[in-house]
Structure 1
Amino acid sequence: MNPEQAESSTSLSLESASKELSQRYIDECSGCAQRFSSWSEEEQTHFVESLLQQMTHYQHGRVQAFLAPMLQRDFISALPARGLDHLAEKILAYLDAESLKSAELVCREWRRVVADGLLWKKLIELQVRSDNLWRGLAERKGWLQDLFRPQRGCQPKDNAYYRQLYPRILQDIERIENNWRSGKYRLHKIQCQSEASKGVYCLQYDEDKIVSGLRDNTIKVWDRRTFQCIKVLTGHSGSVLCLQYDENIIISGSSDSTVRVWDVHSGEALNTLYHHCEAVLHLRFAEGLMVTCSKDRSIAVWDMVSPKEITLRRVLVGHRAAVNVVDFDQRYIVSASGDRTIKVWHTTSCEFVRTLSGHKRGIACLQYRDRLVVSGSSDNSIRLWDIETGSCLRVLEGHEELVRCIRFDSKRIVSGAYDGKIKVWDLPAALDPRSSPAAMCVGTLVEHTGRVFRLQFDEFQIVSSSHDDTILVWDFLAEDDDGSETGGAAGGGGGGGGGGGDDDDDDDKSGRGAAGKFNPVGGNFIAGGDEDDADVD
């Protein structure tokens, strides 16, 4: 007899045995049950354990099969029955979207808990709070107020609304990523119409305005929605080469060698700083500290108590040519110069740390975040550096002239050059030593008719300025019927070589500004340089 036949025979014999229980057994079993019920819970447990020890393996299996359904409890349905709906909602709120959809299919009670708890709304709220892309979409699409700021008198949206909204958000995100990759955008153009010398050297924007510094010595503020000029700040006697603003002030640097402080709301001049003896090429401020750099080859570190109380703390020297750009965080100040080097200094002590060398000509731009420094040079290349070791991680090649501006986030690098082109690079690929050069550049955007001086971007758009006296807004999300121009990428491609590295993503330059507002990458640090003044040879 084979094992299958033996198992079948045993099963049949046991089944027949269960039908042949004696009356004596039935009577004795009833008496045992009555006695069992008279014992304490501890005594009952001890008795059952003793029985189990005397059973065969087969009997253990029978008992386990009998107990399994009894041990399964639908606690989600049981909690509301005891008035604990909030606990059931709290448990299901930990589920991701796919799991939440599955939970709705378990039974009517689970679906009711999901609906009554508005768990789809809470899932979207969690994403909006933690992800800049979701936050930006909420603002752009107008459903942010449904989540956090419902209008008085309006009927609140139900769970079905948010359940349908979630996949639409995913579709928008997919479309944005595809548009970045394929170079599809809607183009908005601001013609600055400078009366004297033409050129827009620096800019910064948020959801309400664009602030730009021009070669005609003015700062112009533009309405973000209408693209009309709403304010002109005058006072500099030279080109406005760099600027930065926050919720209270604008600080600008000029070829007239001064740094000026303005009220961001009224445009009133609040302070003028005299220190540098040549053009102020770049500046950056945050958390009571400001760093400026100049064609005079020096870097000035300032303490900011208030707009009218700014004092010089330290002057950093060591570069052998104009210092074209600075950036800093709580650890390091990073500077780049026409002398072809990047220098690193301790932020608190202002002591020199190390020099990053590799560019073959002067360095015009850089951005620093976490361990990563990305720089652009007059040698037409972009380099990625590990600030802790000083090693070059990757060289990106593709621009045909000086790389004048560069920004990066966790996904991409965007660069602008004197060849009039803006290139988009895949940052994770650039940091992967296994990636081929062909995988680096994912698109080239050509709309400017002059040198690209400055750019800034977020998940949805690039804003750039140029020697052609225009500011361009490249929108990768806009609907097809918004009435603006439609553009496309001139093509991908680009080269590179070198090593790889790691990428981190956090800190105050991650795209979220004060009070949790959505701001573009580098929103707290946008500056620029005048091609006549900067030394990048």
Structure 2
Amino acid sequence: MADPHVHSPATPPQQRPRRPSVEHLPDMSATFTELEFHSSAADGEHDDRPEQPQRPGSSLGLVAGQPIFYPREDTTSTPEPKEDLSSAGSSTITPFLTKHIPKQYDPLGERNQTGARNDKSNTKFCYRHHPDLKCRRQADEPSMDQMQKELATLPPSDQAGISNVWSLFSAAPSRHRNLMLQGILAQCCFPQLSFIAANVRDLIKIDFLSVLPAEIGLRVLTFLDPTSICKAAQRDVKRQRTPEHGGRKLQPWKDVYKDRFKIGTNWKYGRCSIKTFKGHTNGVMCVQFDENMIASGSYDSTIKLWDIHSGKEIRTLRGHTLGIRCLQFDDTKLASGSLDGTIKFWDLESGRQLCNLTGHTSGVISLHFDGATVASGSMDHTIRVWNFKDRSASVLRGHTEWVNCVKIDAASRTLLSCSDDCTIRLWDLDTMRCIKVFHGHAAQVQQVVPMPVGFDLDPAPDAPAGDGRTWTYENEKDADRPPPPRYMVSGALSGNIRLWDIHSGRCVRTFFGHIEGVWGLAADTLRVVSGANDGMIKIWDPRAGTCERTFTGHAGPVTCVGLNDRRMLSGSEDHEVRLYSFCDTGT
């Protein structure tokens, strides 16, 4: 149940959204109708951790006040580097976040069996943070932009410290917040108190017209003289002006060439056309798109297909009994995972259901397919790997909480997963065992995305030769086997995004800027796109670790994002899908 005193900037998403990237499955429609899976040895279950007793925990799956990390003796995990300043103080921060973040985001407490919110919600919004009052969010945009710019000028250690303070305050209930503010005010000198007074003066002003019905507001304005009306109009223009952002650093010439001049320039200056797709009756939790079509899944238990050019709805897929948490499609078929615990495959041309995969004992919140292999992550803490060639299914155990994201790399036959237990794991799909565990996030990890093969970082001047550049498997027979992707990015409810070197196990970049939890993440060789509970979409330079641009407009948390070199896609708890096209600016 959500804390009634927590004032969130937007309606909190009730489940963690997961969405994989575009991949291609061979046409398996001929086998779908008679599909049966046979478990491998020991029912296909591969448990590489000791049996743990059932522990009470929050709805996000973490034991209140304590992070859950199980040491693994048979895993070649790499300890965190001493220089990882963003992890400093995690022994204090992590227990606090894992205790209070579940109350703030309230993933299950306010949903009924159909996925819709109950009428008697305990979530209360103050005037400033009410999700329906767009004018208040727009008034905050210039200050948020300035804060992002000033944050980028600080060294990483200072950014980490400030981000930790924001995370602690954001997760704290009302009483804790008041205590924090009292302590801060007691330590402020007169210059800081003057700064607070100057900023609070405007923040506590209430635009009463925004909360009145339109007809009443217009009636009130008829009593104003022309001079007063002009002053009011000028103030509204100032408050609603879109903030400008700093320029983007030059990229390597190969990437600039591939990005093309026009589209690259539009990305650089944020010039794009925005198209909004409306039709869902509840929060949108997963999206994917290609050059012609958009697919979106929602808590209204439906999947909608949209024409990307006309903006019209093509088809609605119905069959799941609870909310849709994840989906992926290729040229012929679409896979969807739902809170009803099933995975369904659909024919895109006809909308007909091809097959139904069952096995999880709780909701399916992440899936990804590549070739004949399908992986799914669930609220039952397990990962299931389905093989359509031999019709086998295996269970991967190791995470101790919800598995929020899974990503298959077919070339190296490995799988990445992240969980509410604050860890990321790398799995070998040949042996079905975990081969590396990544620690570092102070809160629940919602997304993990492998970077494309073409992405690389310039080596640091003081880095030893060959540092982290090689990868070896335990089995000598795998000498010719390709290594897993070199880099990955991950996002967590602490609001931070991390760039990892998978081969060395080190966190090489930490991106600071979101003031609330990150739900959606997408990446290519040039940029990383993130969506968060603060209702903002940020575009990052992955090499420099800096925020290039911030987009606002959604009236709720941004739960999912998509990306290609020409467009960007977002879905939100406000029931809308937005397409940002940088190849067509609408001018």
* TM-score of the aligned structures, taking structure 1 as reference length: 0.54
In the alignment, the residues of structure 2 paired with residue 291 and residue 444 of structure 1 have an alpha-carbon distance, to the nearest angstrom, of: 33
Q: Are the counterparts in 2 of residues 192 and 469 from structure 1 also a CA contact under 8 Å? A: yes
Deviation at 1:480, TM superposition (A): 3.6
Q: Does 1:234 align with 2:318?
A: yes
Mark the CA change 1:345 to 1:171 in structure 2 (over 3 Å): closer, same or farther: closer
Q: SS of the counterpart of 1:474?
A: strand
Once residues 172 and 290 of structure 1 are traced to their aligned partners in structure 2, the CA distance between those partners, rounded to angstroms, is: 31
Alignment partner, residue 189 of structure 1: 276
Q: Pick from 290, 294, 311 the counterpart of residue 210 of structure 1.
A: 294
Question: Which residue among 333, 336, 340 is the counterpart of 1:249?
Answer: 333
Residue in 2 that maps onto 1:371: 486
Instruction: For residue 444 of structure 1, report the CA deviation from its aligned partner.
Output: 0.5
Task: Please name the residue that 1:381 is paired with.
Answer: 496
2:538 paired residue number: 423
Match of residue 506 from structure 1 = none
Matches within 5 A, 1:14-93: none
1:204 positional shift = 1.2
Matched, 1:399 2:514: yes
Q: Is the alpha carbon distance of 1:278 and 1:187 closer, same or farther for their aligned partners in structure 2, counting shifts above 3 Å?
A: same
1:122 is aligned to none
* Mapped contact 2:273–2:580 kept (Cα < 8 A): yes
Aligned pairs for 1:309-328 (under 5 A) are 311-328=391-408
- 1:95-134 superposed matches below 5 A: none
Q: Cα–Cα, structure 1 residues 321 and 265, in superposed 2: closer, same or farther, change >3 Å? A: same
Secondary structure of 1:283's aligned partner: strand
Contact 1:373/1:385 (8 A) holds in 2: yes
Asked whether the equivalents of residues 328 and 347 of structure 1 are also in contact (C-alpha less than 8 Å), the reply is: no
Distance 1:226 1:328, change over 3 A: same
Q: Which has the larger radius of gyration?
A: 1
CA distance 1:364–1:455, shift in 2 (3 Å): same
2:383 alignment counterpart: 299
Q: Whole-Å Cα distance in 2 between the matches of residues 421 and 321 of structure 1?
A: 27
Is 1:180 the counterpart of 2:286? The answer is no
> Which residue of structure 1 lines up, in the alignment, with residue 346 of structure 2?
262
Partner of residue 75, structure 2: none
Shift of 1:171: 13
Q: CA deviation at 1:313?
A: 2.6
* 1:344 corresponds to: 426
Question: Which whole-Å CA distance do the structure 2 matches of 1:172 and 1:247 have between them?
Answer: 24
5+ residue gaps, structure 2, are 1-255, 452-484
1:255-275: CA deviation from partner (whole Å, max 9, x where unpaired): 001111111111101111111
Number of aligned residue pairs? 297
SS at match of 1:180: helix
SS in 1 for 2:556: coil
Deviations 1:109-145 (A, max 9, x none): xxxxxxxxxxxxxxxxxxxxxxxxxxxxxxxxxxxxx
Which structure: greater helix fraction?
1
Separation (CA, whole Å) in 2 of partners of 1:373 and 1:480: 34
Partners of 2:259 and 2:565 within 8 A in 1: no
| Superposition TM-score, scaled by structure 2 size | 0.49
> Is the CA contact 2:272–2:586 (under 8 Å) kept in the aligned structure 1?
no
**How far, CA to CA, are the matches of 2:292 and 2:495 in structure 1?**
34
Distance 1:192 1:391, change over 3 A: same
Q: Is the 8 A contact 2:448 2:491 kept in 1?
A: yes
- The structural deviation recorded for 1:428 is 2.4
Whether the aligned pair in 2 keeps the contact of 1:380 and 1:400 (CA below 8 Å) is yes
Q: Is the 8 A contact 2:405 2:448 kept in 1?
A: yes
Deviations 1:308-355, CA, capped at 9 Å, x for gaps: xx8443100011110100112132211100000001111222121010
Question: Root-mean-square deviation (CA), in Å?
Answer: 1.8
Give per-residue Cα distances to partners, 1:359-389, cap 9 Å, x unaligned.
Answer: 0010011101421110000111001111112
- Report if aligned partners of 1:284, 1:290 keep a CA contact under 8 Å in 2: yes
Shift of the 390–191 alpha-carbon distance from structure 1 to 2, 3 Å rule, reads same
Kindly tell me: are residues 189 and 348 of structure 1, through their superposed partners in 2, closer, same or farther at Cα, counting changes over 3 Å? Answer: same
Tell me the distance in 2 between the aligned counterparts of 1:408 and 1:172.
14
Structure with the largest fraction of strand: 1
SS of the equivalent of 1:179 reads helix
Any residues of structure 2 matched to 1:381-530 within 5 Å, and which? Answer: 381-430=496-545, 440-481=546-587
Distance 1:170 1:323 in 2: 38
Q: Is this contact kept in 2: 1:461–1:473, CA < 8 A? A: yes
Q: Does the Cα contact within 8 Å between 1:189 and 1:470 map onto a contact in 2?
A: yes
On the 8 A contact 2:271/2:585 being kept in 1, the answer is no
Which structure has more relative contact order (CA 8 Å, sep 6+)? It is 2
Q: Deviations over 1:72-131 (max 9, x none)?
A: xxxxxxxxxxxxxxxxxxxxxxxxxxxxxxxxxxxxxxxxxxxxxxxxxxxxxxxxxxxx
Q: 1:452 is matched by which residue type in structure 2?
A: V
Structure 1 Cα separation of the partners of residues 448 and 416 of structure 2: 9
SS class of match (2:265): helix
> 1:359 maps to which residue?
441
Percent sequence identity is: 35
Equivalent residue letter for 1:443: R
Residue matched to 2:60: none
Match of 2:368 in 1: 284
Counterpart of 1:325, as a letter, is C
Give the Cα–Cα distance (whole angstroms) in 2 for the partners of residues 258 and 464 of structure 1: 25
Q: Are the equivalent residues in 2 in contact too, given 1:329–1:347 (CA < 8 A)?
A: no
Counterpart amino acid of residue 538 in structure 2 = K
Report if aligned partners of 1:366, 1:405 keep a CA contact under 8 Å in 2. Answer: no
One-letter code aligned to 2:336:
S
CA contact (8 A) 1:300 1:312 kept: no
| Aligned partner of residue 429 in structure 1, secondary structure | coil
Q: 1:375 to 1:479 in 2, by over 3 A?
A: closer
* Structure 1 CA distance for aligned equivalents of residues 372 and 384 of structure 2: 14
Supply the AA of the counterpart residue of 1:327.
Answer: K
Q: Distance in 1 between matches of 2:586 and 2:278?
A: 23
User: Which amino acid in 2 is paired with 1:465?
Assistant: G
String of CA shifts for 1:166-187, please: whole Å, max 9, x gaps.
xxx9899333222222222111
| Structure 1 unaligned residues grouped into runs of 5+ | 1-168, 431-439, 482-537
Decide whether the 8 Å contact of 1:191 with 1:469 is kept in 2: yes
Which letter maps to 2:268?
Answer: R
Distance 1:212 1:337 in 2: 23
